[in-house]
Structure 1
Amino acid sequence: MEFRVLGPIDVRELGRDVTPSAPKQRQVLALLLAKANHRVSVPALLSEVWDGEPPRTATTALQTYIGAIRKALAAGSGTSARDIADHRLVTDGNGYVLRLEHHEWDRPRFERLVLDARRLLEEREAHTATDTLGEALAMWRGTPFCNVRHGSQLTVQARVLNEAHLAACEVRIDALLLCRRFQEAVGEAVALVGDHPYHENVHTQLMRALYASGRRATALEVYQSLHRRMTDDLGIPPSPSTTTLHRVMLQDSPDQRYLAAAGAGALL
């Protein structure tokens, strides 16, 4: 059985979708997936499903949802609900644990690939790191938990996964720059800037990629846009490291050692 959280939650058995369709069952399963192999208390589940204000019948309803999820997983895997209760979705005191092996869900594999890529970059194996990050990012199918209503806990869990995705994208751009694949770095950085208009690092990555591609004027325009947005909307200027990069790029004969260290060795 395969469980996926890097996008809409999805449970599959031999390619067949066995994800519960009822909204509250799906929400319960989503929180159990988000905290797989860790106990999720009944109060936490009740708070998530009923926004902190569960009705008197909520505990009974939750038990019904857990039973329905067990039946769906049993039907999908060709086992019994009893077997699922004993080995997969188990009761643990006043809570439940969804037990998954590492190979059964996508999150551990994604995290392992990103760690491998970071290690490869430290070893100056930028080309292999780039490919490894591409494999990791290809596992994403959209926004985490986008097919589930979010309570407070799933909102946090989705944010955690989105941050992990953003960090992996940033590392891949750094790897592309080290590989001198500047046009690809520009394309991926443009997408990140559009999604994260106040994120300085993705703007500096785009500046570096553009400059290295011989597009100094466009790189400087990216800085001006960021500066204007931050000062007008947030009341703060870009950080010293960003302004230093901008100042170096303004020079007709910039410090190539600085630009090389910043991953923006010019092709001019």
Structure 2
Amino acid sequence: MIDISVFGPTVISGGGGRIAAADLGGAKLRQLLEMLALDLGRPLPKDRIAERLWDGRPPASYIATIESYVCVLRRRLGLVGGRRGPLATTSHGYVLDPELVRVDAVQVQELLRAHDADVPRALDLVSGELLADEPYAAWATEARDSFAELLADRCTHAARQANLRGDFEVAVRLAREATRRSYVSEPAVRELMKGLMGTGCRVQALGVYESLRKDMAEDLGLGPEVETQSLYFRILRGSSEERRPQIGGDEISALLEFLRSALTADLTMIIDRPSMYEVGQLLMARAG
């Protein structure tokens, strides 16, 4: 079995040996292997390989050049040629056989798509940036963006389920990852706020909202959705059914800072005007 890691620097392991991408013999050889790895089990046509390798401007002799790259890859990795083997020839291109090759990124995506309970396991396998050896290639950027979107979506969904079952620490971990992968994602922010509140981190939960509000106002000229604002107010009020703990100095300072920010900002981007009185009363009451 051959293992290919494309999180962080690309590395190939198998047969008791380990080969770094730098030892393959050039950037295009490395990129060809990475493309095949991301499409594990799916034949990749030569014309598509050429489009990616030469950024839409392949040479006239690209078929012969790609065939020579594959020969060199097989030789460097100690693989047999033909239609059988880890790196197999197809009618119009090449494919890595999933029965003989494992790819960490493919394993992660399978776990992400499987079940909410598998999402934390998937995160444990993400050991670095996807295709870190390819910071500028358009096809690699597209792959990273697609992966980030999938990861953010699945982490948000799994965080929601974790919050519902009261597993708040897991929810916080998943929601933080989702917010890191997706800019101003309000569903992810809401799950993070709920998880933080569940772990007793009220000030942090309020701070997450404040950061979202500022980013949206500065970059988009918008305010958070009503659902997000409502959650913010619920956290401010606390639950009437639970005994409120003694409010510490740090929380008082943070709540007063939120009031100052609200008063100096465009109110239409934060909350409706009738609610400002309520917010002021809540914060001032907490300040004693």
Q: Which string of whole-angstrom CA distances, capped at 9 and with x for unpartnered residues, describes residues 131-183 of structure 1?
A: x4333221111111111355333322222223333344434544553564545
Amino acid paired to 2:67 = Q
For residue 63 of structure 2, the aligned residue among 49, 54, 59 is 59
How far 1:237 moved relative to its partner? Answer: 2.0
Find the counterpart in structure 1 of residue 186 from structure 2: 200
TM-score (norm 2): 0.69
**Stretches of structure 2 lacking an aligned partner (at least 5 in a row):** 243-288
**Stretches of structure 1 lacking an aligned partner (at least 5 in a row):** 119-128, 257-268
Tell me how far apart the structure 1 counterparts of residues 10 and 153 of structure 2 sit (CA, whole Å): 21
How far 1:52 moved relative to its partner? Answer: 0.9
8 Å contact kept, 2:178–2:188: yes
How far 1:197 moved relative to its partner? Answer: 4.4
Amino acid paired to 1:117 = H
TM-score (norm 1): 0.74
> Cα distance 1:136–1:15, how it changes in 2: closer, same or farther (>3 A)?
farther
8 Å contact kept, 1:23–1:148: no
Find the counterpart in structure 2 of residue 152 from structure 1: 138
Find the counterpart in structure 1 of residue 216 from structure 2: 230
Find the counterpart in structure 1 of residue 272 from structure 2: none
> Cα distance 1:39–1:251, how it changes in 2: closer, same or farther (>3 A)?
same
Q: Which string of whole-angstrom CA distances, capped at 9 and with x for unpartnered residues, describes residues 58-85 of structure 1?
A: 3332222111112123x2xxx5x335x5
Larger radius of gyration: 2
> Cα distance 1:150–1:62, how it changes in 2: closer, same or farther (>3 A)?
farther
Q: How many residues align?
A: 238
For residue 206 of structure 2, the aligned residue among 209, 220, 225 is 220
Find the counterpart in structure 1 of residue 231 from structure 2: 245
Tell me how far apart the structure 2 counterparts of residues 251 and 102 of structure 1 sit (CA, whole Å): 57
1:16 aligns with 2:17: yes
For residue 50 of structure 2, the aligned residue among 46, 53, 77 is 46
How far 1:13 moved relative to its partner? Answer: 0.4
How far 1:112 moved relative to its partner? Answer: 4.2
8 Å contact kept, 2:152–2:181: no
Q: Which aligned runs of 4 or more in structure 1 are off by greater than 6 angstroms?
A: none
> Cα distance 1:69–1:255, how it changes in 2: closer, same or farther (>3 A)?
farther
> Cα distance 1:87–1:194, how it changes in 2: closer, same or farther (>3 A)?
closer
Tell me how far apart the structure 2 counterparts of residues 199 and 21 of structure 1 sit (CA, whole Å): 42
Amino acid paired to 2:120 = G
Q: Which string of whole-angstrom CA distances, capped at 9 and with x for unpartnered residues, describes residues 225-258 of structure 1?
A: 21121122112222232122123223254689xx
8 Å contact kept, 2:155–2:177: no
8 Å contact kept, 2:46–2:92: yes
TM-align CA RMSD: 3.0
1:37 aligns with 2:48: no
